[in-house]
């Protein structure tokens, strides 16, 4: 038999005398990166936003019912309002906000364990989330009132809640420390976290100051104006924390074929490499 008639590897007999099958491509999941799809920020945020708006809606309706009814009906409205009063602790809004903060902290710690860079920043974000979760129940921020009272006199304007004098600069410092991490993330995540931070500060600082001024003008007597401002404040905060959680969830990808999940590669931004072209061998 001449060399030109020699069997090719695909036609060569196997150990059992049958032609062996031609080698095919290995089914490697990494070879199909397009099958992974990231979590959409807004779609992930919608359930959190719906719960926050529902809580605030029930609080507003029951407060209105309490004001415009009398007797047992008014008392029943107040009992329900007490459970959904966003200005109080140890109730449903507090539990929900605490849960969101804890989820944010756990997500940050998990993503940080998978990241190649900014691990200390991820740990810091995780600690902030867990500490804020505890603060929702224990009101740790009000422990800053003592220092705030001492410093408030040096400010050129009146701050009704002394803890803000210390809390706002502390929040700005933490934000500055986390900024390099936030800017290094994918664009969708960066924009979501920045939007969440701006929304949270508008509630926790802006509306908090406004509610304090309302209380001070009423000689610290709670009225409907204070309830309304507080309702807006806490709603903004819940919406913001939910958006921050959804933004972190966008760092997860799911394979539609296998159902497996993974964290996106958080390596330094670089130009994506093109797959090497396969050049067919000459006959």
Confidence band for 197, pLDDT divided at 50, 70 and 90:
very high
**Residue 271: is its pLDDT beyond 70?**
no
**Residue 37: is its pLDDT beyond 90?**
no
Phi first, then psi: give them for residue 37, nearest 5 degrees.
-125, 135
Distance CA 147, CA 75 (A): 40
Phi first, then psi: give them for residue 256, nearest 5 degrees.
-65, -25
Give rounded-to-5 percent helix, strand, coil for the chain: 65, 5, 30
Q: What are the pLDDT digits (tens) for 93-113?
A: 999 999 999 999 999 999 999
Confidence band for 282, pLDDT divided at 50, 70 and 90:
very low
Q: What is the mean pLDDT of residues 258-280?
A: 58
Domain boundaries, the chain: 38-257
Strands (E), the chain: 36-38, 252-255, 261-263
**Residue 40: is its pLDDT beyond 70?**
yes
Confidence band for 267, pLDDT divided at 50, 70 and 90:
low
The phi-psi region of residue 255 (left if phi > 0; otherwise alpha if psi is between -120 and 50; otherwise beta) is: beta
User: Is residue 120 a contact partner of residue 269, using CB atoms and an 8 Å limit?
Assistant: no
Q: What are the pLDDT digits (tens) for 43-98?
A: 999 999 999 999 999 999 999 999 999 999 999 999 999 999 998 888 999 999 99
Residue 74 CB partners (closer than 8 Å, separation 6+): 65, 66
Confidence band for 150, pLDDT divided at 50, 70 and 90:
confident
- pTM (predicted TM-score): 0.80
User: Is residue 188 a contact partner of residue 45, using CB atoms and an 8 Å limit?
Assistant: no
What pLDDT score does 279 carry? Answer: 45
């Amino acid at each position: 038999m001449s060399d030109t008639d020699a069997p090719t590897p695909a036609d060569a007999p196997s150990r059992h005398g049958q032609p062996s099958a031609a080698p095919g491509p290995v089914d490697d999941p990494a070879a199909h990166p397009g099958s992974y799809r990231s979590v959409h920020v807004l779609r992930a945020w919608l359930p959190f936003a719906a719960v926050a708006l529902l809580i605030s809606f029930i609080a507003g309706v029951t407060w209105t019912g309490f004001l415009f009814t009398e007797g047992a009906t008014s008392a029943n409205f107040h009992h329900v309002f007490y459970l959904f009063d966003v200005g109080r602790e140890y109730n449903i809004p507090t539990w929900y906000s605490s849960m969101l903060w804890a989820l944010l902290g756990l997500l940050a710690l998990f993503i940080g364990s998978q990241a190649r860079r900014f691990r200390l920043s991820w740990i810091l974000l995780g600690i902030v989330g867990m500490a804020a979760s505890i603060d929702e129940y224990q009101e740790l921020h009000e422990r800053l009132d003592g220092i705030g009272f001492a410093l408030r006199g040096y400010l050129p304007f009146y701050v009704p809640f002394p803890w803000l004098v210390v809390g706002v600069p502390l929040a700005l410092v933490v934000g500055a420390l986390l900024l390099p991490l936030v800017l290094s993330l994918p664009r969708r995540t960066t924009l979501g976290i920045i939007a969440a931070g701006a929304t949270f500060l508008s509630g926790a600082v802006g509306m908090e100051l406004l509610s304090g001024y309302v209380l001070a003008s009423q000689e610290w007597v709670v009225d409907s104006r204070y309830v309304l401002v507080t309702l807006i404040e806490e709603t903004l905060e819940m919406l913001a924390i939910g958006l921050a959680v959804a933004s972190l969830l966008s760092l997860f990808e799911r394979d539609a074929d296998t159902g497996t999940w993974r964290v996106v590669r958080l390596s330094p931004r670089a130009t994506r490499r093109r797959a090497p072209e396969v050049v067919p061998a000459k006959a």
